[in-house]
Amino acid sequence: MTICPCGSGNSYSDCCEPIITGGQPAQTAEQLMRARYSAYVFAEMDFIFESTHPEQRLGYDHAGTKEWAETAEWQGLEIISTNKGGVGDSVGEVEFIARFTEKGAGREHHEAGLFKRQDGSWYFTEGKMVRQKPLSVTRIGRNDPCLCGSSMKYKKCCGK
């Protein structure tokens, strides 16, 4: 039994393979996202193309995408969150991180993928790169409790 590369823990034949081969449609945006990741792992470029919304297919580089998919070493998929994209929805968003190695260097592709259901089928419409959120700096006053948890004032503890 081959475990599905999408990270579901299920067998490939019970998980993404039926969606990729057309045996069953993706029921949710997340299922389509997982199937698209698995399609990259197995270089199933016809599925990648067909699961992209028709309005977004212009300029698709089939050969270049296939070469990249075949040369990357796929490490795993992490679903961060989903927003809508369920069985009764017409749009959805799936934030994910796809990890892979390319030319010996570890890479992460962190994206918010947007999906649309049309005529009963889910399609990928576009992806927006997720940027790391800036660190927030909290100002602490001299008389505030110390952040270390000592229950002393900052000025008497770590603020010395």
Residue 43 belongs to some domain of the structure: yes
pLDDT of residue 147: 73
Residue type, 97: I
Residue 143 belongs to some domain of the structure: no
Residue 90 belongs to some domain of the structure: yes
Residue 84 belongs to some domain of the structure: yes
Residue 71 belongs to some domain of the structure: yes
Tokens representing 156? 């008497």
Residue 40 belongs to some domain of the structure: yes
101: containing domain? 12-133
CATH number at residue 98: 3.10.450.50
Residue 157 belongs to some domain of the structure: no
Number of domains in the chain: 1
Residue 145 belongs to some domain of the structure: no
* CA-to-CA separations, 121 to 70, 79, 112, 153, in angstroms, rounded: 27, 21, 19, 60
pLDDT of residue 136: 65
- Profile the chain (160 residues) by mean pLDDT over runs of 10 residues: 96 98 98 98 98 95 96 97 97 98 95 97 96 71 78 79
84: left (phi over 0), alpha (psi -120 to 50) or beta: left
Of the chain, the end-to-end C-alpha distance in Å amounts to 61
pLDDT of residue 134: 67
